[in-house]
Amino acid sequence: MAFSSQHGGNIIEAAAAIGVEADLLIDFSANINPLGMPDSLKRAIVENLTLAERYPDVEYRALHQALAKHHQVPLEWVLAGNGETELIFNLVQQLSPRKALLLTPGFAEYRRALARIGCEVTDFHLSEAQGWQPDESFLQALTPDVDCLFLCTPNNPTGLLLDKKLLLAIAHRCRENHIALIVDEAFLDFLPDEPGLIPHLSHFPQLYILRSLTKFFAIAGLRLGYLVSADSKTVGHIREQREPWTINAFAALAGEVILNDCGYIEASYHWLSTEQPRLFNGLNGLRGIKVWPPSANYIFMRCDVDGLDLQRRLLEENILIRHCANYPGLDARYYRVAIKSSADNDKLLDALQRVLSNTDGAGE
Ligand SMILES: Cc1ncc(COP(=O)(O)O)c(C=O)c1O
């Protein structure tokens, strides 16, 4: 049995499942930059420890100014959150769609946020035969009765970037039909040449971009994400209505520091440009494994060995990967692995070699 966590990164549950200490596991299930938290941020936190003694600025002025400056957008377009996840829920609550369209497979929290407000959800199934990507025919699903569409690019778990031309065609169609278009760009920072849709915001008044800083800057435990939209009225309503101080003082400080850390950003691009093709090619060369070319810091794959619970077998090698059986539209053959340091990636490849060579039928 695959262990059943909804998300990657649940090393405590995984370690308990096999009776080892969580620290022993190498976590390939959460897609976090292996360079770790930037040194510039560590220093800033240590130098500002006393920030914890008082309330953060309830408006997070310095943080919002830093984000607005970074994206060269008006201040009232930007709202930071305690991780992107908080903003998914805030935005859905504020927009209150009655009918939403989701692509499957996709990130689980959109569905949970929509379910919380009783929204009817229609699934648009992406198929392996079509390379897990929508094509022009998807535009036909964007009818005026739909209130809201979530897209994720690069998508989780497939790691595939949406075609820019199609994405803009979708945005136009959503504008025509008054569909709120929420685009999750949580992993876009890993693509150095991909500005995403923020530069297009002024043309699309019902376009909402969600960004996460927890993955690229390895601050998943600190938590910081943000929303950018030209719909400053909706952004303003969320700002007014949500609970105060949800972003802790160090996360707010992080947003003011890390976006300027060019050394860290360059080092991250360098690591990924080396390790992404290396891990992809390593996995691609394994009998019984099919992989899809990644665009960000994780790789989606299928294991074709009948009856092999790959997650469980790798756990016995102290390696945790993400099984994708609980993504609607996928089954127990699909997995996702993070791209980590060169040494850790080698450990994954070695462990996979061992596991697969001890099975019959690999490579069918
Ligand atoms: C596609 C996607 N969006 C958003 C998030 C949540 O990001 P955050 O940690 O900023 O809440 C995740 C986390 O795994 C994700 O995979």
Residue 99 domain-assigned (yes or no) = yes
Residue 17 domain-assigned (yes or no) = yes
Return the number of other C-beta atoms located less than 10 Å from residue 207's C-beta: 22
Residue 363 domain-assigned (yes or no) = no
Q: What is the pLDDT of residue 4?
A: 58
Pair (247, 323) in one structural domain: no
The domain in which residue 223 lies consists of: 39-260
Pair (306, 247) in one structural domain: no
Cα 176 to middle of ligand 1, angstroms: 29
Are the C-beta atoms of residues 352 and 307 closer than 8 Å to each other?
Answer: no
Question: Is 189 near ligand 1, meaning CB less than 6 Å away?
Answer: no
Pair (252, 271) in one structural domain: no
Pair (273, 320) in one structural domain: yes
The CA distance from 328 to 127, in Å, is: 12
Pair (184, 216) in one structural domain: yes
Q: What is the pLDDT of residue 1?
A: 45
Pair (84, 188) in one structural domain: yes
Pair (186, 253) in one structural domain: yes
Q: What is the pLDDT of residues 26-46, one digit of tens each?
A: 999 999 999 999 999 999 999
Q: What is the pLDDT of residues 255-284, one digit of tens each?
A: 999 999 999 999 999 999 999 999 999 999
The CA distance from 41 to 250, in Å, is: 9
Q: What is the pLDDT of residues 295-333, one digit of tens each?
A: 999 999 999 999 999 999 999 999 999 999 999 999 999
The pLDDT of 230-257, averaged and rounded, is 98
Cα 172 to middle of ligand 1, angstroms: 26
Which atom of ligand 1 is nearest the CA belonging to 7?
A: 14
Pair (290, 234) in one structural domain: no
Choose the final residue of a domain: 260, 285, 314.
260
Residue 2 domain-assigned (yes or no) = no
Lowest mean pLDDT among 6-20, 148-162, 175-189: 6-20
Sheet holding 225-229, edge to edge: 78-81, 225-229, 207-212, 180-184, 148-152, 99-104, 120-125
Question: Is 186 near ligand 1, meaning CB less than 6 Å away?
Answer: yes
Q: What is the pLDDT of residue 364?
A: 40
Pair (90, 210) in one structural domain: yes
Return the number of other C-beta atoms located less than 10 Å from residue 347's C-beta: 16
Question: Is 212 near ligand 1, meaning CB less than 6 Å away?
Answer: yes
Cα 31 to middle of ligand 1, angstroms: 9
Pair (254, 120) in one structural domain: yes
Question: Is 107 near ligand 1, meaning CB less than 6 Å away?
Answer: yes
Choose the final residue of a domain: 260, 282, 299.
260
Choose the final residue of a domain: 260, 286, 319.
260
Pair (128, 198) in one structural domain: yes
Residue 4 domain-assigned (yes or no) = no
Pair (70, 218) in one structural domain: yes
